Amino acid sequence: MEYVLLIVGFVLLVKGADFFVDGASSIAAKLKIPSLIIGLTVVSLGTSLPEAAVSISASVNGNNGISLGNVIGSNIFNLLVVVGVSAIILHISTDKAIIKRDMPINIGITALLCVMLIDGMLSRIDAAVLLGCFALYMFILIRSAIKNRVEAEEQKVLSWKKSAVFTVVGVAAIIGGGQLVVNNASAIAISLGMGETLVGLTIVAVGTSLPELVTSIVAAKKGDSGIAMGNVIGSNIFNVLFIMGMTGVISPITADLAFFTDSGLLIAVSVVMFIFALTNGRTSRREGVISTLMYLAYVPFIIMRAYGVFGA
C-alpha cells in the first residue's frame, strides 16, 4: 500500500507544481511584481511547507535526527539536484539581485547555523536569533517588491479568480503530495532497517524537496528563471531561518559531529553554486551535470558513514 500512495504523492507533486507556477506567475504579473520576488517568497515558502511540517512535527516528538537532517539534507539537495537538473533541462539565468543579495545571505546564514552547532546544540536563544534574521529578510524582500513593481513586464496572464484557484489548488496538491511521499518513503526505508539520521538526510530530505524540484523544473521548462532559481535560494533561506528557528524554539536541538560536518559541506556547496551563478550570470548545463554528480557522490558517502565505514 505504501508504494501505491508513494506514486499518488508524486502525481500530486507534478500537477500541483504546474498549477502553482501558473498561478503565482499570473499574480506576479498582475501586481507588477518581478517573478524573482514571487520565487523568493510565495513559491519558496509554499514549496517549503512540507519541510516545515516534517521538522516541526519531529521537534515536538523529540526526533532531532529527522528534524535537523531534513533541513540540511533538503538544502544540499536543492542546490545540487534542483538547480542541477533544472540547468540541464535549460540553463538557468541568475538575476543580479540573487547574486548580489540572496546567494551571499544564503551562505552567511548557513555559516551562522554551522557556528551555532559547534557546541553540539541549537538552543532556544540561537533559534530566536534565526527567527529574527528571517523577519529582517522578509522585510528586505517586501521593500524590494514595492520598489521594483513598475519593473515587471506585462504578459498574458490568468484572471484573478483562476490565478487564485490555480495557486491554492497547487499549494494543496504540493503539500498533500509531499506528505504522502515523505510518510510512505520513510515507512518503506525504516522497514528496510535505515536509521533515523540517515532517513532524515536522505529519504525525508529528498521527499520534502520534491516540491522545489518539480516546481523549478516546470518553471525552467516555461523559461521562468526568476521562479526557478528564486524558489531554490528562497527555500534554503526559509529552511534555515524559519524552520530551524521554529523547531529550535519549540525544543532545543542536539547535533552530533556528523551534522556539523554536513552543515560545513552545505556551506561549501553554497559557495560552489554561487561561483557557478557568477559565470556569465547563469548556471550552464555542464555545471548542472557537475552539481548532480556531486550529489550522487554525497549519498553513498552518508550511507557508508551511517553504517560505520568512516566512523561517527
Contact 232, 47 (CB under 8 A): no
Q: Please tell me the predicted confidence (pLDDT) of residue 151.
A: 47
Domain boundaries, the chain: 2-306
Contact 251, 57 (CB under 8 A): no
When the candidates are 1.20.1420.30, 1.10.3720.10, 1.20.140.10, 3.40.50.620, the CATH number that belongs to 2-306 is 1.20.1420.30
Query: Taking the mean position of all CA atoms in its chain, how far away is CA 117?
Result: 20
Q: Please tell me the predicted confidence (pLDDT) of residue 150.
A: 47
Q: Supply the DSSP symbol for 150.
A: G
Q: Cell for 211?
A: 516540491
Residues 6+ apart with CB under 8 A from 23: 158, 162, 163, 164, 165, 166, 167, 168, 169, 170
State whether residue 77 is helix, strand or coil: helix
Q: How far apart are CA 117 and CA 90, in angstroms?
A: 37
Query: What is this structure's pTM?
Result: 0.78
Q: Cell for 35?
A: 517573478
Q: How far apart are CA 97 and CA 38, in angstroms?
A: 13
Q: Supply the DSSP symbol for 279.
A: G
Q: How far apart are CA 212 and CA 82, in angstroms?
A: 7
Contact 283, 175 (CB under 8 A): no
Strands (E), the chain: 92-93, 121-122, 253-254, 282-283
Q: How far apart are CA 80 and CA 100, in angstroms?
A: 20
**Secondary structure (DSSP) of 103-132:** HHHHHHHHHHHHHHTTTSEE-HHHHHHHHH
Cα within 13 Å of Cα(277), Cβ side: 26
Q: Supply the DSSP symbol for 91.
A: P
The number of beta carbons lying within 10 Å of the beta carbon of residue 199 is 26
Q: Helix and strand tally (H, E) in the chain? A: 16, 4
Q: Please tell me the predicted confidence (pLDDT) of residue 284.
A: 86
The contacts found for 186-192 with CB under 8 angstroms, 24 or more apart, are: 187/2, 188/2, 188/3, 188/6
Q: Please tell me the predicted confidence (pLDDT) of residue 277.
A: 87
Q: Cell for 78?
A: 536543492
Mean pLDDT for each consecutive 10-residue tract of the chain (312 residues)?
82 78 77 68 69 72 72 91 86 79 93 90 93 91 70 61 87 79 74 70 77 77 70 88 90 80 90 88 87 92 75 48
